[in-house]
Chain A
Amino acid sequence: MTVTLASLSRQTGLSVLDHLEQEVTIPVLDGIQAQGDLLVIPLPVVADVVSIRADVRWTGVPAGGVELLRGAAGGNPHTLVADPLTCRWTTSINDRLGLALGLFEASEPVYLLHPEHGATGFVPGTYVVRRQREQVAAARRPGSATADARNRNRFIED
């Protein structure tokens, strides 16, 4: 079956902005893909810093999808969509950089849907979902002398 923005939108009941092309087939690709402020990375690429916790709890991804992250400002969610029993999602992971939201395992192609960014397709595999960060200066407090202590990260929200 051909998967398009329109068919994903029907399957999940989620709407996408009407200026995005609705009937084009969503490419299902192998590799790192970005959707707005999220990056989806095949696990082997970051396996040296990301690991699944021993007490892992999985959530089966239903046809209606699982919301991975909702943009704080606009309230637009990134939703992981899969056919039933083909994909599971967990947040029980350790990321040494603290950027990962979670990880999903897919045995069939799965899709990430966003009202403004459209859809992204993934070949079967295990993927880490990371947020984007930037560096911001923390408020200067007496005693925090080093630059490292003053600077911190801020997550990007689009």
Chain B
Amino acid sequence: MTAARLEAAAIREEWLGHALSTSPADRSAAEAGISELYRLVGRKAPAFAWVRSPAEAVPHIPPMPRLRADLFSGRAADWPLSSLLADRYARLRDRLDMCVDRRRIPAGWPPWTTKLRTLPEEELSREASDSVHQSVLDAVLGPIRLAHKVVTGESRGLAWYGQHDAHWLAHYEIWRRVGGATYAHDDVRELEIWAVLARSCGWWWPVEGLCTVSERPVEVNTEPAGESGQIRLHAADGPAVRFADAWSVYSWHGTRVPRWVMTDPSVERIAAESNVEVRRCAIERLGWDVYIEQAGLKLVGSALDPGNQGSELRLYDIHNGFSRVLLAVNGSLERDGRRRMYGLTVPTSIDDPLAAAGWTYGLSAAQYSQLVRRT
């Protein structure tokens, strides 16, 4: 059991490593892999155009082909290349999914019976697969794709993600090596082509005769984000993801933010920002105490924080229509001997700082006042 757990974790870490890799692309491996996929759908190997980032690829890639019924006449030879690849990919995954599902549900048994026969190896596989999925798809590919959409304006061409396809490749490998799924020989070979791409390059955009391929980023900053090895993008002083052409994605503890949040988190910019999550990140980046002072927030009330050695709780109006902010002081010292201050948003109906502090723990002001020690 421990061996299976270690193996699942090792596969998870290996693929996460590929997804976060900042090494230069292995261009010959990537070109060979992509050429092989072109051949699988009956096309000749393309020429290659390498770019430093997905943003730099934008002028090179044509818009998504309009999907019209007459294109899908059944004569596959007439389909646009990207549709052929997408079809081939979808069929491969359908076949692999059936093999994984067969492990989960015995043929002919109703789906609810999986609950009765889940093996520890299957539970481990699910957990490891979910972890990579959250780290790669949700926490890395998702934010970069959203940032890229800002550059392209609209959806352009069908992209494949190279290193950021790691999550689904990890999924099938975990289920094969730990979860006990078996795949057809030909499918394993086809899967390996995609695996080579995930190990060797960034995003790529195939069209007839030409494939534009991006290098991987040159910098990726993350922090731990869960119980089973998940990560999320975070960098406090610069880009979380940076490519060689300087195209960058910024992230504060996993929330994608505009560049100014890191470089110029001023009260004016915070006031002008319409997205509340971005506003919260910018305030945290600036520091709640600094923000409250610079924004000139009106003090509603203050009180000694029970159990917290002469520290004060201060409640402020923040004029956002739904909350007030409670400025509290940490119970333990930082390395520099100071105590960190932090802001907590509380419902606007609360006037008393003690009631506000109590509310954050589901207690009344009277109950919170009984607090004997905070560290």
Q: Which residues of A contact B (CB under 8 A)?
A: 17, 19-20, 27, 29-36, 39, 41, 45-46, 49, 70, 72-75, 95, 97, 99, 114, 116-120, 130, 132-137, 147, 150-151, 156, 158
Contacts and interface: CB of A to CB of B under 8 A. Distances in A.
Contact of B360 (A35, A114, A134): A134
A135 B333 CA distance: 26
Given A34-B375, A35-B375, A99-B361, A156 B322 contact: no
B307 A72 contact: no
Contacts of B322: 135, 137, 147, 150-151
Given A19-B335, A20-B332, A33 B362 contact: no
B231 to A, nearest CB: 10
Contacts of A75: 223-224
Chain B interface residue bracket vs A: 35 or more
Contacts of A95: 362
Interface string B224-257: 1111000000100000000000000000010000
Given A27-B373, A32-B372, A34-B375, A118 B332 contact: yes
B47 interface: no
Nearest to A120: B375
B346 A134 contact: yes
20 contacts: A17-B335, A31-B370, A31-B371, A32-B372, A33-B373, A34-B331, A34-B375, A35-B331, A36-B332, A36-B375, A39-B363, A41-B361, A72-B224, A75-B224, A99-B361, A117-B332, A118-B332, A133-B360, A134-B360, A156-B360
Nearest to B280: A136
B interface SS class: loop
B297 interface: no
Interface of B: 223-227, 234, 253, 276-277, 280, 307-308, 320, 322-323, 330-333, 335, 337, 342, 344-347, 360-363, 367-368, 370-375
A97 B331 contact: no
Nearest to A67: B227
B257 to A, nearest CB: 15
A135 B363 contact: no
Among A20, A75, A136, A137, the one with the most B-chain Cβ atoms within 10 Å of its Cβ is A137
B276 to A, nearest CB: 5
A70 to B, nearest CB: 6
